[in-house]
Amino acid sequence: MVGFRDQPVLLLGLGGVGRALVQQIVHTRQRQQQRNKLHLRIIGVVDSRSARLDLSGLSDQALLEAVARKTRDLPAFDTAESWSVADLPEDTILVDTTATEAVVPVLLEAKQRGLGVVLANKLPLAGPLAWWDALADERSRWETTCGAALPVIRALNTLLDSGDDVQRIEGALSGTLGFLAAKLEAGAPFGAAVREAKALGYTEPDPRQDLGGLDAARKALILARMLGYRLELRDVQVESLYPAAMDALSLDEFLQQVDALDEPLRARAHALTDGGRKLRYAAEIADGCLRVGLVGVAPESKLGSVRSTDSVVVFHTRYFSDNPLTISGRGAGQQVTASGVLGDVVDLARALQRIAH
């Protein structure tokens, strides 16, 4: 297209977020052309079972068919003969909407070639520091790793680029744990609250993946690393809402036995909410350390004044001291996350064009 930037894009992952992203790319073609003079040429759609590739660009009809039927036709992406990063155009953007570390070798090879990378998958950035060092550069974007489409990463980058001194970050980064904290604050039994959250679709299929706090810890670790904290995940103090011994149980056994945690968590919630405080599961990043767990906060505080199920990040800085900079809102959901990924793709496409010239 004359006058348009033709941006090749390879999509890794065709789960809920990946499918929503494909639909949004197709349905915003005209806006991207009018607003950004940009055409996103999707050259491949790849998931853990199969891949569909065409370096000249898949048609919108083919993309929507892939969404309807997931993927088809070609071998799994982790099979050597299926495709190679070396075959991709030199200005390709790889978009990772998976939730696996299996894509890391592909991402690292892409970075070595100087390709662009957009991450909704937080595992590579919260993995070993060597991965962070290789992936977190000017040719990468990762806004949706810490709050769906909320501009948390962009705000922190702006603070750091402006020379502000970020002294402390607080964040409630899990809507699931926010829901459970609100239930505990209201006096609901923990076991019943967990089963309700699962029935409502707020948790992972196995709620222990949320209750352990690791998802919130990974999000906070990404923010901490942006501040320059050379931390590994093992360095994070993580409060799990269930004992490690319960990992040996089957899912059904866990859901039956989780009621045993009612009393200890009732007592912990009561202690933290004494005096009218609000219960939150939150991260605190300060003084080179990172902790995530239950806290009691003042109702009028930034953490206490937003809905418990919303994500919120509070930046305490030299310039934002009396009234800290706060970003809050819906921090989860396939459609909103996909919209954030699309925003990252467009932003990176602009940046790659500037770098090329």
User: Look-up: residue for tokens 């310039």?
Assistant: 319
Q: Which domains does the chain have, with CATH numbers?
A: 5-149+335-356 (3.40.50.720), 157-330 (3.30.360.10)
8-state DSSP, 120: -
Q: How is residue 149 written in tokens?
A: 């489409």
Half-sphere exposure of 157 (CA within 13 A, CB side): 12
For 78-91, write each residue's pLDDT tens digit. 443 467 899 999 99
Q: Where are the alpha helices (DSSP H) in the chain?
A: 16-27, 29-36, 60-69, 104-112, 129-135, 152-161, 175-185, 190-199, 208-211, 214-226, 251-257, 262-272, 334-356
In this structure, are residues 12 and 97 in contact, taking their beta carbons and an 8 Å threshold?
A: yes
Query: Whole-number mean pLDDT of the chain?
Result: 93
Instruction: For residue 290, give Cα distances in angstroms to 71, 168, 231.
Output: 40, 10, 9
Query: Which positions are annotated as active-site residues?
Result: 219
pLDDT band, residue 73 (cuts 50/70/90)? very low
For 253-275, write each residue's pLDDT tens digit. 999 999 999 999 999 999 999 99
Q: Where are the alpha helices (DSSP H) in 78-189?
A: 104-112, 129-135, 152-161, 175-185
Q: Is 117 helix (H, G, I), strand (E, B) or coil?
A: strand
CA distance 260 to 244: 14
pLDDT band, residue 354 (cuts 50/70/90)? confident
CB atoms under 10 Å from CB of 233, counted, come to 16
CA distance 116 to 90: 9
Instruction: Reply yes or no on whether the pLDDT at 71 is more than 50.
Output: no
User: Global pTM?
Assistant: 0.93
Half-sphere exposure of 287 (CA within 13 A, CB side): 1
For 190-236, write each residue's pLDDT tens digit. 999 999 999 988 888 899 999 999 999 999 999 999 999 999 999 99
pLDDT band, residue 3 (cuts 50/70/90)? low
* pLDDT value of position 292: 98
Which of 45-49, 59-63, 152-156, 187-191 has the weakest average pLDDT? Answer: 45-49
